């Protein structure tokens, strides 16, 4: 694999087109609604990433993860994090141990000066992310609700939603023992 790690504004239109297709193919099998945000050349679903790590092989994009610095609030306490999202591995490469190569983002997280990486995943991915945690890269927390802003303001829905997702924490500049305890995380924006 060849990794390309860089700022969002370094991407060309052709990169966005290729990423949009990658996400439609990656997320589409989990439900048509999950592929919908990536119509046309849109390569982000909610909040737009600040950094991207994109893995390529001879068949094109093999994997992707996006990063965005933001403040979240855990039971009233503000915390700077790098949100990790838009995670995906091409379906023909699943189960081959490729996810461990996402360690390529650790130097970027350190460069960003954040104490923690933070992300959420569906409970169905618990076994997958737990494997990553065995190497000490991350910790998976359950029983935490996460409030996010909807991508669009709609007349028939509230402006936020609350998910019971698994919370993924990557200790970067501080130990995991410094992660605040709490039962509610306010993302204060759209999910990455």
Domain ranges of the chain: 2-186
58-103 tens-digit pLDDT: 999 999 999 999 999 998 899 999 999 998 888 888 777 666 677 8
- For range 143-147, the mean pLDDT: 93
The model's pTM is 0.88
First to last CA, the chain: 24
CA distance 169 to 133: 10
Question: In the chain, which residue ranges form alpha helices assigned H by DSSP?
Answer: 13-27, 32-35, 106-112, 126-133
Give yes or no for a contact between 133 and 102, defined as CB atoms under 8 angstroms apart: no
Name all contacts of 146-149 with Cβ < 8 Å and 24+ positions apart.
146/120, 146/184, 146/185, 146/187, 147/184, 147/185, 147/186, 147/187, 148/46, 148/187, 148/189, 148/190, 148/191, 149/187, 149/188, 149/189, 149/190
CATH code for the structural domain at 2-186: 3.40.630.30
Q: Which residues pair with 139 in a beta bridge?
A: 169
94-110 tens-digit pLDDT: 777 666 677 888 899 99
Give yes or no for a contact between 62 and 53, defined as CB atoms under 8 angstroms apart: no
- Could you tell me which residues come within 8 angstroms of residue 158 by beta carbon, excluding any fewer than 6 positions away? 150
- For range 117-146, the mean pLDDT: 81
CB 166: neighbour CB atoms within 10 A? 21
């Amino acid at each position: 694999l060849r990794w390309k790690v860089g700022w969002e504004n370094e991407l060309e239109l052709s990169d966005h087109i290729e990423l949009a297709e990658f996400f439609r193919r990656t997320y589409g099998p989990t439900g048509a609604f999950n592929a919908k945000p990536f119509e046309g050349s849109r390569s982000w679903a909610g909040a737009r990433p600040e950094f991207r790590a994109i893995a390529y092989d001879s068949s094109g994009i093999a994997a992707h993860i996006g990063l965005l610095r933001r403040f979240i609030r855990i039971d009233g306490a503000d915390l700077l994090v790098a949100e990790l999202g838009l995670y995906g591995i091409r379906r023909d490469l699943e189960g081959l141990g490729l996810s461990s190569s996402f360690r390529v983002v650790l130097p970027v997280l350190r460069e960003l000066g954040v104490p923690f990486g933070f992300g959420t995943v569906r409970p169905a991915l618990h076994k997958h992310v737990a494997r990553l945690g065995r190497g000490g890269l991350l910790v998976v927390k359950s029983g935490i609700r996460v409030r996010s802003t909807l991508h669009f303001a709609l007349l028939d829905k509230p402006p936020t939603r609350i998910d019971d997702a698994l919370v993924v924490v990557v200790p970067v500049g501080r130990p995991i023992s410094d992660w605040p305890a709490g039962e509610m995380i306010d993302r204060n924006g759209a999910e990455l």
